Amino acid sequence: LAQDQSYRLPTHARPSRYEITLQPDLNAADFSGHVDVDLEITGSPRRLVLNAVELEIDAVHLSAAGTGEDLVPQIRLDEAEQQLILDFDQELRGPARLSIDFRGVLNDKLRGFYRSTFRRQDGSEGTIATTQFEATDARRAFPCWDEPDFKAVFAVTLIVEEGLAAFSNSQLESSVTRDDGTVEMRFADTMVMSTYLVAFVVGPFYVSEPVVVDGIPVRVAALTGNFDLYRFALQVAEHSLRFLAGYFEIPYPAGKLDHLAIPDFAAGAMENLGAVTYRENLLLADPDAAPQIELQRIATVIAHETAHMWFGDLVTMKWWNGIWLNEAFATFMEVTTTDAYQPSWEMWKGFSTAKSGALGIDGLRATRPVEYPVGRPEEAEGMFDVLTYQKGGAVLKMLEQYLGADVFRRGISHYLTTHAYGNTETSDLWDALEAISGEPVRTIMSTWIDQGGYPVVRASLSEDARTVTLEQDRFLYDGTTGHDDRWAIPVTLRASVGGQVVSERLLVAEPSARHSFEAPVDWVVVNESAWGFYRVAYSPSMWSLLLGAGLASVLDGQERLAVLGDTWAAVTAGTVPLSQWSEAAVAVEAGDDPEAWTSLALSLKALERAGDDADRDALAAFARRLAEPVWDRLGWLPTPGESDLVAVTRARVLRVLADSGRDEALAADARDRLSAHLSNGGLPPDLIGACAAISVATGGAEAFETVLKAYLSAPLQQDKLRFLIALGDTPDPSLAGQALDLAVSPQVRSGDAWYLIGGVLANHSTQVSGWEWLTANWPRVAERLPQSLLVRCIEPVATFTDAGQAALVRSWVRARPEAELPVTPVRLAQILERMDVTVAMAGRLRGQIAAALG
Ligand SMILES: [Zn+2]
């Protein structure tokens, strides 16, 4: 059977260079353009096919290099395939130049060439034009061969109103004022690159002074002239560029690097070569006034995008099935780079929390392999999820640990050098790593990349306490196993043998494996530092040895998270009693570790939703037992010289106590402190979000109003977001209704609405009314939000605990045609399966929680 490949472009014409001139009109929200494309034509076609959509084509002609003939084709636009078809009445040969005049609209859909609005200092509204092309929206801005392996040079000219700044991928070469007063800005030729990485940004931007890194000017640009907000991004950008050029041992491939803050943005950021675009809140922050967690997030996003300049931009996937490798690798590098920037942030431990999200999805029957065949580019849309980013990043980290960090790094450098300016398949990376390491990388990695799911390693100890037996099964949240699935698992055991701590590495590729120690062990940790992407189920005797030795003293930070996560997953699957989790929750002694508190808070929340009133009373007491000693020690105010992570911990412990612990006095204190802060400042930055959320959760209509006002009046995007998210914490369905209406009003940016909608639906007190609102208002929501973010509004149904409610969700989803619910079938199936898992867990635990917590 022949596969339908009508969406693919014929390869008998290949572009080598584009000269693009665009003149956007920000007031009229449209643009006109001209493109000259140098082509190499092979064979003797009469037809050229390239991509274009939602463009008016005014004129097309082709000049053949040899003859100088000027040919005018018949033009046809195929809307469905998004193709521009040019039919000539003679055969075409050799090099030629294709010239096209076209016009288009600056749309509001946050893709292609689009407009975004912002408030000027005087309160008036301003407009900018910007681009987002990945995966296939360059064709909305100019006719082009819009597939990643048609790499070419781009020479861009932007004609803009006087006084505006303009950015593209390379340095500005000249800027000339024309007779009509507009300014023609010419940018230098780019390296050869894919169309999805081209960028144009035009608006009244302020630009920082450059920081020069090995001859490359690095700048930050945004629509605010408050340069205090640029300082942190510039520092991180400088570090990232220097660190990554050193890591890859390859100079930065473009002539300059701009980081641009865009007010309306669908994704987090986009790795356009030399002109990276970001959501404002992921680039701008005053380091003295922003919470640690936001600074960390900004640092990782900048590092991620900078890593793409090599991995993605210099070396690019052949087709969209390779997008996972792009993103998995950038995720791996973002943590590596930020860890080097600020070791005290313990970024790999933070990544453990992100990784647990991937383990959560990948433990479902409805998971998917990380890489799968992609026909139409849209099929790759399902790749932009935790399995690509977090599982992909985690299995690369597992491989790095197995091969050794330097061998891995040299393998990556070898891959990038070999394929510079080219396109690759995933196997090219494995080949490069095999060449450098001599290890069977392809065989190992195919078990993690080409099949979905991951193993649970069941560990047991022989009578004489010398031999550990490891057995692998697929881990599944429905409590069953997949006995036929196998992984090649790099396992590192850490054991205390006669008081000496030793590490042993083995590759478990068979259903079971054994390792014998020289003498009886005191305890054994399987999955040292939790670098492996799998869960561990300890036999009762091994668990007792660990508990006896003291989890808090035996385990490192990542292992502690793994033990909490694995135990919680087993409780969710119904394979161990809840008491095992509560035992672990106490024994790990979360202390000053913010990630341990995140894990505990999520489990406590899930138990609250599952439990009945008596359960919730017991939970509140349990939460206080865990959190009170830590809060009593940390208190409201930072102590001079404390680590950045303590500030994060303080916020999380405060929420656990006020929220799950139902500490009413503390909640009242939080409300008072927020009110005082909103008039006079004074709250440490890390506590603002927590106090806002606690206020809305406990302070009724008055607190809701206060936080709403704070949202509306906050000048900065990240301040706004903090307050916006907090509004979703109201337990009052009518206030929640107000919040939802706000979410789809012009007062919330369309790219931010899901935070609030998702928050109301994840809130146990408002999820029923929230779901009613969502289903009643779905057409409005679908019209207002960027399509890629709609799934975030549906996702919280995975927290629903009531079987009747779950049935309503399921039948609503079933009744929606795909056009109304643009979520990939795999993603939908995962959401519904998670909901079933939650309902089943709640059914088992309801009424039993109080007893299990002791
Ligand atoms: Zn990325």
pLDDT in tens, 500-534: 999 999 999 999 999 999 999 999 999 999 999 99
Please report, as a single letter, which amino acid is at residue 721. Answer: L
Please confirm whether the linkage preceding 623 is cis (ω < 30° from 0): no
Q: Judge whether residue 3 has pLDDT over 70.
A: no
CA distances from 730 to 247, 399, 591, 710, 718 (A): 47, 44, 29, 15, 20
Q: Across-strand partners of 219?
A: 258
Rounded Cα distance, 492 and 126, in Å: 57
CA 22 to ligand 1 center in whole angstroms: 27
Determine contact, residues 532/402, Cβ cutoff 8 Å.
Answer: no
Which tops the pLDDT comparison, 482 or 666? Answer: 666
CA 268 to ligand 1 center in whole angstroms: 9
Rounded Cα distance, 418 and 410, in Å: 12
Rounded Cα distance, 833 and 168, in Å: 44
pLDDT band at 560 (very low <50, low <70, confident <90, very high): very high
DSSP class per residue in 619-633: HHHHHHHHHHHHHHH
3-state helix, strand and coil shares in percent for the chain, rounded to the nearest 5: 45, 20, 30
Q: Judge whether residue 489 has pLDDT over 80.
A: yes
CA 206 to ligand 1 center in whole angstroms: 25
Predicted confidence (pLDDT) per residue in 230-243, tens digit: 999 999 999 999 99
DSSP class per residue in 475-489: --TTS---TT----E
In the prediction, which pLDDT does 59 show?
97
Place of tokens 């916006």: 724
The mean pLDDT of 464-490, rounded to a whole number, is 93
Structure tokens at 344: 């005290």
In the prediction, which pLDDT does 175 show?
97
Rounded Cα distance, 692 and 274, in Å: 38
Predicted confidence (pLDDT) per residue in 48-64, tens digit: 999 999 999 999 999 98
Predicted confidence (pLDDT) per residue in 128-159, tens digit: 999 999 999 999 999 999 999 999 999 999 99
Determine contact, residues 359/536, Cβ cutoff 8 Å.
Answer: no
Please report, as a single letter, which amino acid is at residue 7. Answer: Y
Q: Judge whether residue 1 has pLDDT over 80.
A: no
Those residues with Cβ within 8 angstroms of residue 645's Cβ, 6 or more apart along the chain or in another chain = 292, 344, 345, 346, 592, 593, 594
Rounded Cα distance, 800 and 819, in Å: 25
CA 400 to ligand 1 center in whole angstroms: 19
Determine contact, residues 64/45, Cβ cutoff 8 Å.
Answer: no
- The SS3 call for residue 44 is coil
- In the DSSP assignment, the letter for residue 384 is S
Q: How many other CB atoms are found less than 10 A from the CB of residue 501?
A: 12
Determine contact, residues 300/224, Cβ cutoff 8 Å.
Answer: no
Determine contact, residues 800/606, Cβ cutoff 8 Å.
Answer: no
The angle formed by the CA atoms of residues 403, 407 and 413, to the nearest 5 degrees, is 130
Q: Judge whether residue 4 has pLDDT over 80.
A: no
Please report, as a single letter, which amino acid is at residue 14. Answer: R
CA 135 to ligand 1 center in whole angstroms: 12
Determine contact, residues 291/298, Cβ cutoff 8 Å.
Answer: no
How do strand 521-526 and strand 489-497 relate by DSSP bridges?
Answer: antiparallel
CA 270 to ligand 1 center in whole angstroms: 7
In the prediction, which pLDDT does 186 show?
98
Determine contact, residues 105/781, Cβ cutoff 8 Å.
Answer: no
Please report, as a single letter, which amino acid is at residue 603. Answer: S
Most confident region among 199-203, 379-383, 783-787 by mean pLDDT: 199-203
The mean pLDDT of 62-70, rounded to a whole number, is 83
- The SS3 call for residue 798 is helix
CA 301 to ligand 1 center in whole angstroms: 8
Place of tokens 């942030």: 345
Please report, as a single letter, which amino acid is at residue 580. Answer: Q
**Secondary structure in 3-state letters for 134-162:** CCCCHHHCCCECCCCCCCEEEEEEEEECC
Residues labelled as active-site residues: 305
CA 266 to ligand 1 center in whole angstroms: 13
Q: Which of 106, 113, 103 is nearest to 58 (CA)?
A: 103
Q: Judge whether residue 2 has pLDDT over 50.
A: no
- In the DSSP assignment, the letter for residue 10 is P
E-strand spans in 310-354?
316-317
- The SS3 call for residue 172 is strand
Structure tokens at 60: 């097309």
CA distances from 378 to 348, 558, 627 (A): 32, 36, 46
CA 744 to ligand 1 center in whole angstroms: 28
Please report, as a single letter, which amino acid is at residue 110. Answer: L
Q: Which of 360, 322, 529, 352 is nearest to 453 (CA)?
A: 360
CA 435 to ligand 1 center in whole angstroms: 26
CA 282 to ligand 1 center in whole angstroms: 13
Q: Which of 478, 495, 472 is nearest to 554 (CA)?
A: 495
Rounded Cα distance, 778 and 757, in Å: 11
CA 305 to ligand 1 center in whole angstroms: 6
Give all strands of the β-sheet with 47-51 in edge-to-edge order: 47-51, 83-87, 74-78
Rounded Cα distance, 456 and 491, in Å: 12
In the prediction, which pLDDT does 818 show?
84
Quote the longest CA-to-CA distance of the chain.
91
Q: Name the percent of the chain lying above pLDDT 70.
A: 99
Structure tokens at 226: 């408050």
Q: Which of 370, 360, 351 is nearest to 303 (CA)?
A: 351
The answer to whether the predicted template modeling score (pTM) of the entire model surpasses 0.85 is: yes
In the prediction, which pLDDT does 6 show?
84
Rounded Cα distance, 620 and 658, in Å: 9
Predicted confidence (pLDDT) per residue in 753-768, tens digit: 999 999 999 999 999 9
Which strand (E) or helix (H) includes residue 173?
strand 172-177
CA 303 to ligand 1 center in whole angstroms: 10
Length of the chain: 854
Instruction: Please report how the helices 613-634 and 594-610 are oriented relative to each other, as an axis angle in degrees rounded to 10.
Output: 160
Burial of 78 (0-12, 13-18, 19+ CB in 10 A): middle
Those residues with Cβ within 8 angstroms of residue 604's Cβ, 6 or more apart along the chain or in another chain = 619, 622, 623, 656, 660
Rounded Cα distance, 831 and 364, in Å: 10
Determine contact, residues 262/278, Cβ cutoff 8 Å.
Answer: yes
DSSP class per residue in 726-783: HHTT---HHHHHHHHHHHTSTTS-TTTHHHHHHHHHHSTTTHHHHHHHHHHTHHHHHH
Predicted confidence (pLDDT) per residue in 78-102, tens digit: 999 999 999 999 999 889 999 999 9
Predicted confidence (pLDDT) per residue in 268-280, tens digit: 999 999 999 999 9
Q: Judge whether residue 391 has pLDDT over 80.
A: yes
Structure tokens at 107: 């749309």
Q: How high is the mean pLDDT of the chain? A: 95
In the prediction, which pLDDT does 480 show?
87
CA 253 to ligand 1 center in whole angstroms: 17
Structure tokens at 365: 């029957």
Rounded Cα distance, 846 and 775, in Å: 28
Which strand (E) or helix (H) includes residue 131?
strand 125-132
Rounded Cα distance, 190 and 155, in Å: 7
Q: How many other CB atoms are found less than 10 A from the CB of residue 13?
A: 24
Q: Across-strand partners of 491?
A: 506
Give all strands of the β-sheet with 172-177 in edge-to-edge order: 70-71, 55-64, 94-105, 30-41, 13-25, 153-160, 183-187, 172-177
- In the DSSP assignment, the letter for residue 434 is H
Separation of first and last alpha carbons in the chain = 63
